[in-house]
Amino acid sequence: MKILMIHNKYGKHSGEESVVYAQIKLLEENGHKVVTYFRSSEELETMPLGKAKAFFLGLKNSKAIADIKQIIKDEKPDLAHVHNLYPIISPAILPVIKKMGVPIVMTIHNYRLLCPNGLFFTKGAVCEKCTGSKRELNSIINNCEGSILKSSGYALRNLWSRITKKYENYIDSYLCLTSFQKEKLVQNGFEESKCLVIPNFFNKKLEDKNYDISDKNYIAFAGRISPEKGLPILLAAAKKLPKISFHLAGLMRPGYRQELEIPKNVVLRGMLNADEMKTFYEKAKILVHTSICYEGFPMVFPEAMAYKLPIIAPDLAGYPEIVEHNYNGLLFKPQNSNDLADKIVSIWTDKEKLEVFGKNGFQKVNKNYSKQFYFDILLEAYQKNIITPNYKNYEPIKNY
């Protein structure tokens, strides 16, 4: 099978981008050919009036349309797999792809089809107002991006794609990362039969090692150190537990350090390379995730489970689908540092429970988030759309 992979990169490397590249590698390892059409938001920096053009390119980019037409003409892909289209590629390519007889699936990494900023998060809190009666106008009223111009641009861009039904009319399948994501799409008018749940996968080799709990001596946090990650909640819990060490791995948002009160038992490790992250996980006793927003599918979860780390996460969004309470970890009340501290204390010295949670997590990642499991359900989604196209002038590929 030949797949056309389409993605607008964000400039700085992201978890979403890691998933895209891992997906390409997996497909190629299994004998499929992947043709890519990638653009990067960094291109705006070199364009004359790039930031001003971003809004119009998000509505329609004639160059991107011409590029896609040429690729389809030359490569004749069986299917197009879309990831991110903003700000340069734009959803205007979707009807063009379909008119040329190529089915389209789209991975839903975030909530951009429903929310202008893609996060359901603004001004330090979860917000779903743009799915309400005034829709995208709320993004302007709330000034979600901290700039009226930018907030207006995002709102109008989403309004245009919703009114023209660029996604609903031309996407054959939406590949949601969790059932929670799927539910949000269906609640907002997307056809349920088109929404499939395909979680992210652990793209490294799984090693069934036995770890000695006595060698593990800190609580781990891995990810961006920024407001939506709920760092004040983690730090408040750490302050309540001065005898327990907390190690934080990840890049801190510029200027954010001054907003945080960091207790003496918290160690900022900064960005770690692959080998350093391996040691980081192996030496940790528990992984804590304190996000206060609806993340899609944090890759830190399967990574931690691969190292038999129990996870403590908020009972929010799709997290309970991955972290099952009293199975491979514990759930705490969102934004409640007291409950987080209590959950940590409840298992910190319980060797048996820590080992059971760790083993259960490893079994879950091996069963539900392995490369083979992901490849099987991804291929099934591809074949579903190739074999049963819902538009004319397309002849199914019989041998692939």
Number of residues assigned to the chain: 400
Contact 174, 108 (CB under 8 A): yes
Reported for 396-399, long-range contacts at CB under 8 A and 24+ positions apart, including other chains, are: 397/1, 397/78
Write down the pTM of the prediction.
0.90
Cis preceding-peptide flag for 87 (omega within 30 of 0): yes
Q: Which helix (H) or strand (E) holds 231?
A: helix 231-240
pLDDT given for residue 46 in this prediction: 79
Cα–Cα distance, 312 to 343 (Å, whole number): 8
pLDDT given for residue 45 in this prediction: 79
pLDDT given for residue 41 in this prediction: 85
pLDDT given for residue 393 in this prediction: 40
Cα–Cα distance, 109 to 107 (Å, whole number): 6
Measured in degrees and rounded to the nearest 5, phi and psi for residue 257 equal: -55, -35
Cα–Cα distance, 215 to 283 (Å, whole number): 7
Reported for 178-183, long-range contacts at CB under 8 A and 24+ positions apart, including other chains, are: 178/296, 178/297, 178/317, 178/318, 178/321, 178/322, 179/318, 179/321, 180/294, 180/317, 180/318, 180/321, 181/108, 181/111, 181/296, 181/318
Profile the chain (400 residues) by mean pLDDT over runs of 10 residues. 95 82 96 96 77 78 95 97 95 96 96 93 92 90 90 91 93 97 96 96 90 94 94 97 97 92 97 95 98 94 97 97 98 98 98 97 96 95 72 35
Count of C-beta atoms within a 10 Å radius of residue 294: 22
* Domains parsed from the chain with CATH numbers: 2-113+167-201+371-387 (3.40.50.2000), 213-368 (3.40.50.2000)
Residue listed under structure tokens 């043709």: 35
pLDDT given for residue 387 in this prediction: 55
Contact 14, 296 (CB under 8 A): no
Cα–Cα distance, 181 to 170 (Å, whole number): 19
State pLDDT tens for residues 131-169.
988 899 999 999 998 899 889 999 999 999 999 999 999
State pLDDT tens for residues 341-372.
999 999 999 999 999 999 999 999 999 999 99
Cα–Cα distance, 223 to 51 (Å, whole number): 28
pLDDT given for residue 297 in this prediction: 94
Give the contacts of 251 (CB within 8 A, at least 6 positions apart): 224, 225, 270, 271
145, 225, 265, 297 from 255: Cα distances, Å: 17, 11, 22, 27
Estimate the crossing angle of helix 231-240 against helix 337-348, to 10 degrees. 50
Estimate the crossing angle of helix 148-163 against helix 50-59, to 10 degrees. 20
